[in-house]
Amino acid sequence: MIGAGPNGLAAAVALAGAGLEVHVVEARDNIGGGARTAELTGPGYRHDVCAAIHPTAVISPFLRTLPLAEHGVTWIYPEVALAHPLPDGRAGLLHRDLDRMAETLGEEDAAAWSGLFGPLLARESALFGELLGPLRLPPRHPLLLARFGLSALRSAVGLARDTFRGDAAQALFGGCAAHAFLPLETLLSASFGLVLALGAHAAGWPMVRTGSQALMDALAAILRARGGTIETGRTVASLDELPAARAYLFDTTPAAMARIAGDRLPAGFRRRLERFRHGPGAFKIDYALDGPIPWKAPGAALAATVHVGGPLDEVAESERVVSRDAPAERPFCLVAQQSRFDATRAPPGKHTAWIYCHVPPGCTVDMTGRIEAQIERFAPGFRDLVRARAVNAPADLARYNANYVGGDISGGANDWTQLFTRPVVQLDPYATPNPAIYLCSSSTPPGGGVHGMCGYHAAAAALRRVFQRPAPALATAERAALPPPGG
């Protein structure tokens, strides 16, 4: 296994669980990839370096089968999954309970919200099983997937405006959809909003006590308990450097796999991998603060995740500008305020903030001032609380993790031409012409997120093709088995 990110570790755990001898090689000195935790701004300030909030981890059909709690993972569920402040001091709040949506959306839009998500929520386990994997033809649940698809194929702006009358509901949905790194007028952009909001209602948007690193350390502990080994601090330039193995799985970009595998893959297939397109980048700032973020909207203090971008039109404008290769003047900002709910994240009386915005790939513009002006707009006095910053532009993110090409943290462009064909057009997205080589990174379905499903499905492909063994069973329990809200 090359790479010890969430998908690499998940694939390794799945393979070891099938009785195979597994060795993981990681270039950095510590495991975790996009889910590490570090003291970036000073002693005692624990920051999630990349992924911070984990809605897809707690609904992951594979991660739900693992004894994560036995290995130190404690999920923290804030009272509110997500807050989206508006300029006048209101905020749309995404509650796990559909019946509470009227508290900030109003009765009419809450009814519309329930009408959109209620039927999907009734069969969420089956739906997540379809969505968190490769496209199957025919699907296992065609009618359910068709119902989802009627809304998912639309643009986020179109669905939000046609479904909701008020600005709070429209902005709340639009902010969820903006995780796609796509213009919100683009077809299929609504699918991201649907999946993330549905995940909030199904299981919440939790974080891990002490930081995302604890989740990665748990996966490593499970792997070692199953006989697997991990080697850190070793960069692999060629498969010839590694011991002989019956299968090699890559938690890397498609281009990196092509380069490392070399002539073990046909030249034509390598060229196809090298044409894989990456998406926009991220500009991220971690803050050490003298106090909690002073939101104008009181409800924003109840959520670990806050989307800062104003009304739907402003969020859409920000994402549209980025798609035209320009940084937004008023960027849509994704904020995590873990220290409000987890005292291990900062020294007593102090706080942290985790904030990033979308920018064009490789953008060299310093977005610090624009980000802070946007936060200040919804939380006056924020700047006065800043003790220290750790700023990471796209180039810094790419140096930190070679998979983040141009600052792309989502594993590749998510437009319709690539969403269903990542990394290349073929029947099995994880396999290659060489039966011993597989891709398991977020550049394969279902894409970005700390869910481990890219790794699981790649492991399943290797087990079928090389070892003639079944993959470990996935969780299929109904809604009652999903995690309850609470610390």
DSSP letters, 29-68, are SSS-GGG-EE--SSTT--EESS----TTTTT-TTGGGS-T
The answer to whether 129 and 202 are in contact (CB under 8 A) is no
Structure-block tokens of residue 473: 């069973």
Q: Output the CA torsion 432→436→442→443 (10° steps).
A: -20
Q: How many CB atoms lie within 10 A of CB 84?
A: 34
**Residue linked to tokens 């969780």:** 475
Contact 467, 21 (CB under 8 A): no
Sequence-ordered list of residues with C-beta below 8 angstroms from that of 292, at least 6 positions apart, any chain: 301, 337, 339, 340, 351
Residues 302 and 79 sit within 8 Å (Cβ to Cβ) = yes
Say what the pLDDT of residue 486 is. 43
Which residues are 307's β-sheet partners?
334
- Predicted local confidence at residue 483, as pLDDT: 53
The rounded average pLDDT for each run of 10 residues, N- to C-terminus, in the chain (487 residues) is: 98 98 97 97 98 96 97 97 98 97 98 97 92 86 93 97 98 98 97 97 97 98 98 97 97 98 98 97 98 98 98 98 97 98 98 98 98 98 98 98 97 89 94 98 96 98 97 70 46
Q: What is the pLDDT of residue 478?
A: 42
Helix pair angle (107-121, 189-203), 10° resolution: 80
This prediction's pTM: 0.96
Its sign, for the CA torsion 166, 167, 171, 172, is negative
Contact 308, 403 (CB under 8 A): no
Task: Give the model's pLDDT for residue 280.
Answer: 98
DSSP string, 183-218: -TTSTTHHHHHHHHHHHHHHH---EETT-THHHHHH
Angle at which helix 156-163 crosses helix 107-121, to 10 degrees, equals 120
Question: Are the C-beta atoms of residues 17 and 226 closer than 8 Å to each other?
Answer: yes
Class (C level, CATH) for 6-32+55-74+208-276+411-481: alpha beta
Pairing between β-strand 229-231 and β-strand 23-25 as defined by DSSP bridges: parallel
Tens of pLDDT, residue by residue over 334-351, are: 999 999 999 999 999 999
**Which alpha helices (DSSP H) does 343-413 contain, by range?**
368-378, 394-400
Q: What is the pLDDT of residue 266?
A: 98
Separation of alpha carbons 165 and 109, rounded Å: 7
- β-sheet bridge partners, residue 306: 83, 335
**pLDDT (tens digit, 9 = 90+) per residue, 32-47?**
999 999 999 999 999 9
Residue 438 near residue 3, CB atoms below 8 Å? no
Cβ–Cβ contacts within 10 Å for residue 143, how many?
A: 9
- Rounded Cα distance, 343 and 337, in Å: 11
Interior CA angle at 406 toward 405 and 409, to 5°?
Answer: 65
Nearest Cα neighbor of 434 from 202, 257, 304 is 257
Collapse the DSSP code of 167 into the 3-class scheme (helix H, G, I; strand E, B; otherwise coil) and give the result. helix
